[in-house]
Structure 1
Amino acid sequence: MIKYHKKRIVLIKCITTILVACFVTILAANKSVSANLIPENGPLDQATATVGQEMRNGSDHTLGNSFATKSSSSLGTDVFNIGDSSRPRVDAVDVASYQSQMTLNDYKKLKNLGVKTVIVKLTEGATYTNPAALTQIKNAAAAGLNVDVYHYFTSSTISGAKKEANYLLNFLKKNNLNKKILIMNDVEDDSTQTTQIGANLNAFWNVLSQAGYKQHGIYTGASYLYRDAAAKTVGFKRTWKAQYPYHPKAGTNWQTNYGAWQFSPTAKIPNGDYTGYIDVEMDYVNLFTKSSGTSPIQ
């Protein structure tokens, strides 16, 4: 009877150990976090975040695509309204085709909430153009907002970088965009991860500069391996860096060594016509306002 009891205890312990191990594995799989979301200046318990947007698949990427949690999570960055005084100040927002339903009224609301700049996605790689870009540019300018633009970079070679720059340049020229406009290059895609990222980006910038578009900036994130090399092509104060705390709070600012900080992809326009999410940023050095202002089209 005693031997049987001991065997039973051992069996129960083994089953318990197996169940605990399975639970830990499942939990880890559901709450994995990208390196971008581990705070450099904040507590670890604010590190978990998921970009809560449906816009993370296909060939049309938005800013922060690679900085989202790679697997699904029951958590995610929390949702809040732009203008909430308990949150970091929102100086700028960025939009892509996924915000194509935003109306002129939405842009006016952003202006009234203290937002200064809208950064519009134009192109990606050498084949994709945001079909809503011109409307978004015109609406933002009509609302009295500064307008900047961005390109999503995908190349790993100098020749590829030049091809992408010329593709973007074609859009800029065709639509008479102001040569003073700030052009941000979104450097986050895994395909761009190479030790020659600096040379690739400089080749990209040279094409634009030779055509008269000399206002350049970089967008990247904490998880991008060659982020410093990318930033050095324009300078750290002209670099806009993404890192998402789970619950961003007013007075708790990250990435202050850079020009701007993208702190959430899940903000909303209160009582807006557009009810989806929008990316928000804090501009530390007026990076986004030193551009063509409210005259993005010549």
Structure 2
Amino acid sequence: MSHTAHIRSHRKPRRSASTTVAMRAGVAGGVLSTLAVAGASGSASAAEPVTQTLELPTLTAEMAAQVAQSADATQQAAANYELQAERDAAAAKAAKEAKADLKEAKAKAAAKKKAAEEARKEAAARAARDAERTTLTATSDTGSSDTGSSSASTGTSTATGSAAAIVSFVKAQVGAAYVSGATGPSAYDCSGLVQAAYKQVGVSLPRVSQDQSVAGTQVSLDSLQPGDILYWGGAGSAYHVGVYVGDGMFVGAQNSSTGVVEKPLSYDPPSGAVRVL
């Protein structure tokens, strides 16, 4: 035996190149996780193992259930919000469509009402024109027979005498004011002046331009005679009237700026004319 065999070696025990890592983890019953690291030497007299314990948070079954329940509640709330948004959008669309339908129905009803009112007015105007024509015919016949007897002594025809009176009247109104709806004696509108002029010779004319433009016999602008009624616009839909006074002149209540004026036909060429006398 060697003389050194009984002497304990003074060298530190060599650590093995291999290291063992063991982990015990418990997640149920509140057991703590333990991590143990041990080093072992290859010699018979191994060094004492070194153990270190770390505490890690433990996820219990109850906490996991609560997390899952919270996730389900959040998902359900999101689904409810989405459903409510879809319902609100559908309600808004339905309200908008109902509003549009109501507006269209009101417009159609108003159009029908307007058409019915216009038809009623047209029928009334037509009846009034027929009545006025009847009155004018009767008046003209009476005037012709009354003045015909005097024409033999005066040598003046009835038409000339009545026309002269009308011309004289409208010329006397030149300078008077224009007022819409006025029929004299100090102010006139266009049809009010014509009506007042014919009233001087006993002829009752309709009040408005549209009716006056069809109150007599239509005549050509090339064959006008003093006293003829001139109109602007269509026959039956005229917007202005005046009186032809001869020599290419007419008198009319033009507007609020000019009042009653005497002007040549070229100043404002008329659309047509009617002869009542």
Give your verdict on TM over 0.5: no
Greater Cα radius of gyration, structure 1 or 2: 2
Greater relative contact order (Cα < 8 A, sep 6+): 1
TM-score by length of 2: 0.28
TM-score, with length taken from structure 1: 0.26
Return the structure number with greater helix share.
Answer: 2
